[in-house]
Structures are given as structure tokens and as C-alpha cells.
Amino acid sequence: MIGNSIIKLNNIDVFQQKHLVLSNVNLHIDKGDFVWLIGQTGSGKSSLLKIIYGDLHVASGTGHACGYELSKLTGKDVPYLRRKLGIVFQDFQLLTDRTVEQNLQFVLRATGWDDKQQISDRILDVLEKVGLRSKLKKMPHELSGGEQQRVVVARALLNNPEIILADEPTGNLDPDTSEEIVLLLKQISQSGTAVLIATHDYHIIRTFPSRIIKCENGKVLEDVQIA
């Protein structure tokens, strides 16, 4: 770890296949930061997130994420990096044939937890954080969209991540529910876990003003202002 930096990218070029998406990217995110990532569709937001969670290779420049040097990341390292990252997607990606509890058990077992009591305690702990302790035995289809996204946030918190990466986490939610989810993520950042949210929703950015990073014309602009 470099000081308080969770993410530090220096002069990185981001490619999708052989297509240059972003060039000369410089970015730093510190412990407890709450950061918006904006830009038009196709501007490179998702590619930037993929660099951070090890889905795209760093071909040039240097990058560190949660103590891992991204340019030297091997296939074997990626699962360990991802244990230090929580990822929240727009489309929930919950296992529809399992209860909330079983969804969270699945993730913990997949990341090396084997003590039943510790698993049970951790699941109750994260559900408490997102206000869903009473929904433990519910199936995903029995939950509202906002509740499902809270389960996804709980899932992202299971391994005490250093940062949560959220890709359009409010894209399928109504405005009031969107605000609830962002408020939850904001509170998580205040407890020390950095949060980076990619979004198109300028209303929510104005509701929760914070630092903004923008992907535009193949560049990443740090600390921009929006009207």
C-alpha cells in the first residue's frame, strides 16, 4: 500500500482488445474517498473499472490497486485482488434460486471462508449494515429492486473491501430508491472504505456533491466540476 492510496494509476493506456480506449490515465483514490465517475456511454468508464479489478491488463504505465501492482498481475492474483474490492453492478447478478443468506454464503465460501459460525455472523453483520437483517431467508424475487441492490452492496462488503466499485448502481432504480442506495454507499465511505461510482445520473451527483472524475475524448479528467 502506498500511503493512504487505495488506487494509484500513472500514465496508463487502456485497451479493449487492440482498441485504445483511454490514454495516459492518471488517477488516485485514497482510503475513505467518495468519488463519482462520469462520461458518455462508450467513453471508457467501464474499461477504467475493469483495469482496477483486473479484468483488463495494464500494458503501459504503472498502477496499484489495494496493494497489487496491476502491470504484474497474474491470473492467480486476480481472485485475491478481488477479495479486497467490492463490486456492485447495475443488474444485481444475484443467484435467483437461492435465498439472500445462501447468496452471501456462496460468496464467502468461494473466497475461502469455511467456519459456519463465522460465515453466519458475517452475513448478519453485513445485512445489518444495509438494513436488511430481516430479509435473510427471502428469495431475490420477493425483494424490491432497492432491496436487491442493498443485498448486492452487502455482498460487496463481505470481505471488508478497501474500495467498492459501483457501475451504474442506480440504473434500474427509481429516484427515491437511488438516493437511498447512494446514501448507503456514502455512509460506507465515511467508515473508511473508498467508493467509486460510475453513473449517468447528474441529479444524484448534485444531491450528493463530491469529487468527480470524467472520461472524455479518450482521457480521464480528475476533479472536474459540473454545471
pLDDT, tens digit, 9 for 90 and up, residues 54-100: 999 888 899 999 999 999 999 899 888 988 999 998 777 899 999 99
Evaluate if residue 1 carries a pLDDT over 60: no
Residue 86: beta bridge partners? 164
- How many CA atoms, within 13 angstroms, populate the side-chain half-sphere of residue 214? 11
pLDDT at 3: 58
Residue 25: beta bridge partners? 12
pTM for this model (two decimals): 0.91
**Helix H or strand E encompassing 166:** strand 163-167
Sign of CA dihedral 136, 138, 140, 145: negative
Question: What domains are there in the chain, each with its CATH number?
Answer: 1-84+202-227 (3.40.50.300)
Cα–Cα distance, 220 to 29 (Å, whole number): 13
Cα–Cα distance, 58 to 61 (Å, whole number): 7
